[in-house]
Amino acid sequence: MFETDTQDVAQRAFTGDLPPEVRVEELIARAHRRYAGLDEGRLADYIPLLEQADPGWFGLSLVSVDGTEHAAGDTEVRFSIQSISKAFVFALVCEAMGHEQVHDRVGVNNTGLPFNSVIAVELNDGSPMNPMVNAGAIATTALMPGGTPAEQWEHIRSGLSRFAGRPLELDGEVYRSERKANQRNKAIGRLLESYGRLDTDPLDTVDVYTRQCSLLVTATDLAVMGATLADGGTNPRTGERVVSAEVARDTLSVLASCGMYERSGEWLFEIGLPAKSGVSGGIVAVSPGKGAVGTFSPLLDLAGNSVRGQRACAYLSRSLGLSLFASAAHPVSQKVS
Ligand code: DON
């Protein structure tokens, strides 16, 4: 189960809007205070450089669809985006290729297996299954427009920057560190190639994918990127339309079913929001039409999700009424009964 401890949190019923700003500000500060002292979990170590993170880092940001930010803690610390990039690269590819193509070439069903599973590809006759696991993300990156890997990379860097509303930079050290340790992703690339699932050179595509995972972001960037998906594809800070409202909707539906890998069902049950996590400790959770929460704290549970981040998301989902599934009787039906 996802670790939550929200039994004592007053639940807010779902409405179309966030609570008043002072209340949001107060609840973000409370969530930060409540979990800052929690030191469960451990740092990721399979990408050697990630082990150098400060286990005390904890940043929380909520950006609403009007662009207002409420933040607490280490929201300016930069960290590599890792798997969270998969959500935004998927959105860019959907924008370029269309709903049908992406559905047919990548898929949208959960594998029920960990993010870097090789056996999931074998069990599904070479289908990468969905864009949020490594196989599907590699297949998605391969579909990125651009005649060369360098052009594809530039499209990704500039596209993710438009989601964030500022130019994002590559962390060269993280990229080189992961490049030395990504034999498994190369194997997945080759396996997809053997099933005829890639039209690109698999090692080139894995290299572009490794770069996209090494883009530096902050918790605030994640919240702005998520708020762009919550705002029908328009960045609420810059006013730029990054993807269409239909693509934002399609991306969020895949995040709901697959964003937290084989634990997506538990996440929806406890938190009720489309979300994506990354192994460096980030989480973005999106409440469509309202805004998004970006969290950063590098101590992870056994499934690779930030411990403080998931607790904070659960707390905020309950107290701010963010869950997609929470409702209360409409005043008219209350009057009738
Ligand atoms: O491909 C990888 O394994 C990493 N670049 C990203 C993995 C990741 O963030 C998984 N997230 N929970």
Ligand 1 neighbours by CB, cut-off 6 Å? 82-83, 115-116, 134, 178, 185, 213, 277-279, 304
Rounded to the nearest angstrom, the distance between the alpha carbon of 278 and the centre of ligand 1 is 6
- The identity of residue 109, as a single letter, is N
**Residue-wise pLDDT tens digits, 103-136:** 999 999 999 999 999 999 999 999 999 999 999 9
Rounded to the nearest angstrom, the distance between the alpha carbon of 16 and the centre of ligand 1 is 33
CA–CA separation, 29 vs 103, rounded Å?
Answer: 40
pTM, two decimals, is: 0.95
Pairing mode, if any, of strands 282-287 and 275-277?
A: antiparallel
DSSP string of 117-135? -SHHHHHTTT----TTSHH
pLDDT at 261 (0 to 100)? 84
Going from the N-terminus, what domains does the chain have, and what CATH number goes with each?
21-80+217-320 (3.40.710.10), 83-213 (3.40.710.10)
DSSP secondary-structure letter at 145?
Answer: S
User: How many alpha carbons lie under 13 Å from residue 274 in its C-beta half-sphere?
Assistant: 25
Who contacts 246 (Cβ-Cβ below 8 Å, separation ≥6)? Answer: 99
Closest atom of ligand 1 to CA, residue 300:
12
Rounded to the nearest angstrom, the distance between the alpha carbon of 288 and the centre of ligand 1 is 25
DSSP secondary-structure letter at 263?
Answer: G
Closest atom of ligand 1 to CA, residue 84:
9
Tell which one of 86, 132, 134 to mutate to probe ligand 1, the residue whose CB is within 8 A of the most ligand atoms: 134
Who contacts 86 (Cβ-Cβ below 8 Å, separation ≥6)? Answer: 131, 132, 136, 137, 140, 276
Closest atom of ligand 1 to CA, residue 261:
12
Tell which one of 213, 216, 261 to mutate to probe ligand 1, the residue whose CB is within 8 A of the most ligand atoms: 213
Closest atom of ligand 1 to CA, residue 213:
5
CA–CA separation, 52 vs 33, rounded Å?
Answer: 24
pLDDT at 67 (0 to 100)? 97
Closest atom of ligand 1 to CA, residue 277:
12
Rounded to the nearest angstrom, the distance between the alpha carbon of 285 and the centre of ligand 1 is 17
**Residue-wise pLDDT tens digits, 196-211:** 999 999 999 999 999 9
Rounded to the nearest angstrom, the distance between the alpha carbon of 94 and the centre of ligand 1 is 21
**Burial grade of 205 (CB within 10 A; 0-12, 13-18, 19 or more):** buried
Phi, psi (deg, nearest 5) at residue 210 = -65, -40
Closest-CA residue to 209 (of 161, 160, 129, 137): 137
Dihedral angle sign, alpha carbons of residues 227, 159, 312, 303: positive
pLDDT one digit per residue (tens) for the chain, 337 residues: 667 788 788 777 666 789 999 999 999 999 999 999 999 999 998 888 889 999 999 999 999 999 999 999 999 999 999 999 999 999 999 999 998 989 999 999 999 999 999 999 999 999 999 999 999 999 999 999 998 999 999 999 999 999 999 999 999 999 999 999 999 999 999 999 999 999 999 999 999 999 999 999 999 999 999 999 999 999 999 999 999 999 999 999 999 999 998 889 999 999 999 999 999 999 999 999 999 999 999 999 988 899 999 999 999 999 999 999 988 887 787 666 5
Closest-CA residue to 212 (of 156, 148, 275): 156
Question: In this structure, which residue's CA is closest to atom 7 in ligand 1?
Answer: 83
CA–CA separation, 216 vs 81, rounded Å?
Answer: 6
Cβ atoms within 10 A of the Cβ of 246, count? 14
N-term to C-term CA, the chain: 37
Closest atom of ligand 1 to CA, residue 305:
12
pLDDT at 15 (0 to 100)? 66
Rounded to the nearest angstrom, the distance between the alpha carbon of 82 and the centre of ligand 1 is 5
Question: In this structure, which residue's CA is closest to atom 4 in ligand 1?
Answer: 82
Closest atom of ligand 1 to CA, residue 303:
12
DSSP string of 72-105? EESTT--EE-TTHHHHHHHHHHHHHH-HHHHHHH
Rounded to the nearest angstrom, the distance between the alpha carbon of 279 and the centre of ligand 1 is 5
Task: State both tokens at 205.
Answer: 């595509």
Strand partners for 284:
276, 294
**Residue-wise pLDDT tens digits, 127-170:** 999 999 999 999 999 999 998 999 999 999 999 999 999 999 99
